[in-house]
Amino acid sequence: MAARLKLSPVVSLYLKGLPSGQKIAITVLFDLAVLIPCVFFAYALRVSAFEFPPQTAIPRYLIAPLLSITLAAVLDVYSNSVRNFSLGHETRIIISQILTAPLWSLLLLFLGVEEFARSVVIIYVGLSILGMIGVRRLASLILQTEQALKSKRTRTPILIYGAAEAGVALAAALERQGQYQLRAFVDSDYTLVGRKVMGRQVFDFSKLSQVVERYSPEDIFIAKSNLSRANRRILVDASLACGLAVKTIPGVEDILSGSINLDAIRPINVTDLLGREPVPPDRKLMEEVIKNRTLLISGAGGSIGSELVRQIIAFKPAKIIMLDNSEFALFKIHREMEQYVGRTNEGIQLVAVLADACDKQRIEKVMMQHGVEVIFHAAAYKHVRMVQENAEEGIRNNVNSTRAMAEAAINAKVKLFVLISTDKAVRPTSIMGASKRVAEMIIQALADKKGEKPIFAMVRFGNVLGSTGSVVPLFKEQIEAGGPVHVTDREVTRYFMLIPEAAQLVIQAAGMAKGGEVFVLDMGEPIKIAQLAKTMIEIAGLTLRDENNPSGDIEIKYVGLREGEKLFEELQIGHDVSATRHPRIMKSREVFLPYEKLSKLLYGTQRIGKPKISQLTPEVIMKLANMKDDGDLV
């Protein structure tokens, strides 16, 4: 049927290119071609099937088509697109033709025409309505069929993984939008395999390669909300091996609610694969730290700091102090939180403080002015190479800011102080790692010091996916530029965690702090960076260029370890590690120096005062950070 209704490409192109006035003229001519026969059919039906009106009476009958066209024009029938003909257009045609009957009759009376059967008028109106609507419906059907055939040829052929409710809703949404053509479903649920859903066959996912060979899809969409990350990885690996681009949407709820749009569809990314199955947070622990309290987050514009702010605000603090020395980063997170508070009407106070965390006097004044109760000190320079090449500034920012913030917290009678640390602080080989280990030692020493003070604690974890300076955005940038992707060594591995999970675990660790703990987050299994690069290349729909595939798209180039970098990262210095009430948070007991001794080594003085930066040399920091036991510097 579709083939019979199809216009020739030449005719179709010609009609589309005509000005609107010419298109209206063509429509009027088609109507006349339908309405003139309608007059004679009306006469034939009324008088005789084989007779025409007398030749002298023909002009009286031709008045009717002219009235029909005129009234249709008055009622705006001809301004509407034939392609999108609808019930509203039909209504206007019906009204115009009904009005034709009395006007035609009045004209005939005015002209003094006698012996004219009034029933001819009524029959004509019925025929004209059917003719005008019929010709438009036929034209609309032809044009829409042609468009559908063209769309079918140009739409991207796809598979959908998941033939249950979410998969059906996704298929319906994609069908409405017209960009994708569903070829089949695949699923691992054997209660669905072998059935037909929306007229499409549901195949066993284990036979994906045969399905791809049969239907030649380009993409596969994931429509399962309960898919574990391990199974998601299996799905992605199998799909990439078959040459499919894997796509997903942020939430299956969007599919079921019918709110999905093309902007929500995105290629699957590496964070969908490398993160672990989330453990529901202990809300009681988080509320104890946050609810109705005043919190200060240093480095609030950074990757971890900003996520801490997002997690904290959900637990209804009284006030959040966001501190950062980057105006733009601070503006972004402050604006985001203002919008959140505006939407939720929570009444949470937001304060943006543009300041250097090393400025003790300024920080202490802020703490006292706002009555800060809890501090998360996330401000630090974390890029290994950058700190290695700017050692003095890295030490100043990472070590001195920790001391300044901690001493200000003591003077301002803060209740809880949490330092955000890194796995690079364990047996460090870089200035960045050493400076963070010394920052830990300062907090450990202050926690051990007698007198009134906050509860001091540290939380140590590895890389977070997508953070500023991490390999994921760097690899993405290199892939988009056409490569090569730079990896330091074939064997280099790193721990990775999603930013939201890391922030939640930091807050929960704070809720368990009693003083002096080094909390270590369970980072799962380390990941080979070379494999990470390969996965990101494949996810981008490209192929790895190597000795096995010299015609591939992107090459991985091994550039060698830079100064300060390690093949493997560690999370504990010693072996004295114990569990906590949370399955992914451990507690480590590690060596440290008493505060007086540490202060003398760092600053040449036993009293708390303004640090002498010149004494914090990279050599001193490296030796101190690699101390094996109390007083023994290697």
Residue 563 lies in a domain: no
Residue 190 lies in a domain: yes
6 shares a domain with 134: yes
Q: How far is Cα 585 from Cα 402, in angstroms, rounded to an integer?
A: 23
Residue 543 lies in a domain: no
The pLDDT confidence band at residue 633, using thresholds 50, 70 and 90, is: very low
Q: What is the pLDDT of residue 102?
A: 84
Mean pLDDT of 188-205: 89
Q: What is the pLDDT of residue 522?
A: 83
Q: Cis ω on the peptide bond leading into residue 454 (within 30° of 0)?
A: no
Residue 57 confidence (pLDDT) above 50: yes
Range of weakest confidence among 375-379, 414-418, 464-468, 576-580: 464-468
Q: How far is Cα 47 from Cα 123, in angstroms, rounded to an integer?
A: 12
Mean pLDDT of 420-437: 91
Q: What is the pLDDT of residue 568?
A: 78
Residue 555 lies in a domain: no
Residue 141 confidence (pLDDT) above 90: no
194 shares a domain with 128: no
Residue 204 confidence (pLDDT) above 50: yes
Q: What is the pLDDT of residue 59?
A: 73
Which residues on neighbouring strands pair with residue 413, listed in sequence order? Answer: none
Q: What is the pLDDT of residue 255?
A: 55
Residue ending a domain, choose from 233, 268, 303: 268
Mean pLDDT of 177-203: 88
410 shares a domain with 365: yes
Mean pLDDT of all residues belonging to the chain = 82
The pLDDT confidence band at residue 634, using thresholds 50, 70 and 90, is: very low
397 shares a domain with 420: yes
Mean pLDDT of 398-427: 94
Residue 238 lies in a domain: yes
Mean pLDDT of 102-112: 76
For residues 479 and 440, the answer to whether their CB atoms sit within 8 Å is no
DSSP 464-491: EET-TT-HHHHHHHHHHTT-PEEES-TT
107 shares a domain with 63: yes
Distant-in-sequence, close-in-space partners of 98: CB < 8 Å, separation ≥ 6: 125
**CATH number of the domain that residue 351 is part of:** 3.40.50.720
Burial degree of 31 (CB within 10 A; 0-12, 13-18, 19+): buried
Range of weakest confidence among 86-95, 109-118, 343-352: 109-118
Q: How far is Cα 433 from Cα 501, in angstroms, rounded to an integer?
A: 22
314 shares a domain with 448: yes
* Position 264, amino acid: A
Q: How many CB atoms lie within 10 A of CB 131?
A: 23
* Position 537, amino acid: I
Where is mean pLDDT largest: 13-22, 250-259, 269-278? 269-278
Taking the mean position of all CA atoms in its chain, how far away is CA 169?
20
- Find tokens 């039906």 and name the residue: 45
Where is mean pLDDT largest: 90-104, 111-125, 287-301, 554-568? 287-301
Mean pLDDT of 455-473: 81
137 shares a domain with 15: yes
For residues 334 and 354, the answer to whether their CB atoms sit within 8 Å is no
Q: What is the pLDDT of residue 1?
A: 42
Where is mean pLDDT largest: 259-273, 305-319, 534-548, 571-585? 305-319
Residue 250 lies in a domain: yes
Q: How far is Cα 286 from Cα 308, in angstroms, rounded to an integer?
A: 11
CA distances from 426 to 153, 356, 418, 460, 520 (A): 58, 26, 18, 9, 11
Q: What is the pLDDT of residue 279?
A: 77
Q: How far is Cα 278 from Cα 272, in angstroms, rounded to an integer?
A: 12
Residue 166 confidence (pLDDT) above 60: yes
Range of weakest confidence among 157-161, 447-451, 526-530, 574-578: 574-578
Residue 2 confidence (pLDDT) above 50: no
Residue ending a domain, choose from 126, 153, 180: 153
618 shares a domain with 511: yes
Could you give the number of structural domains in the chain? 3
Q: What range defines the domain where residue 408 resides?
A: 283-464+495-524+570-625
405 shares a domain with 344: yes
What percentage of the chain reaches a pLDDT higher than 90? 31
Residue ending a domain, choose from 153, 168, 203: 153
The pLDDT tens digits of the residues spanning 305-360 come to 999 999 999 999 999 999 999 999 999 999 999 998 888 877 899 999 999 999 99
The pLDDT confidence band at residue 546, using thresholds 50, 70 and 90, is: confident
For residues 136 and 161, the answer to whether their CB atoms sit within 8 Å is no
Residue 4 confidence (pLDDT) above 60: no
425 shares a domain with 460: yes
The pLDDT tens digits of the residues spanning 477-514 come to 888 888 899 998 888 888 788 888 889 999 999 999 99
| Beta-sheet strands, E only, within 59-207 | 156-161, 180-187, 196-197, 200-204
Q: How far is Cα 48 from Cα 50, in angstroms, rounded to an integer?
A: 5
Mean pLDDT of 360-367: 95
Half-sphere exposure of 33 (CA within 13 A, CB side): 9
Q: How many residues does the chain have?
A: 634
**Is the model more confident about 23 or about 298?**
298
**Secondary structure element (H or E) that encloses residue 106, with its range:** helix 87-110
Q: How far is Cα 165 from Cα 489, in angstroms, rounded to an integer?
A: 45
Q: What is the pLDDT of residue 262?
A: 56
| Beta-sheet strands, E only, within 389-489 | 416-422, 455-461, 463-465, 485-487
599 shares a domain with 584: yes
369 shares a domain with 454: yes
Residue 530 lies in a domain: no
Q: What is the pLDDT of residue 95?
A: 87
Residue 536 lies in a domain: no
Q: Is the whole-model pTM more than 0.85?
A: no
Q: How far is Cα 588 from Cα 573, in angstroms, rounded to an integer?
A: 8
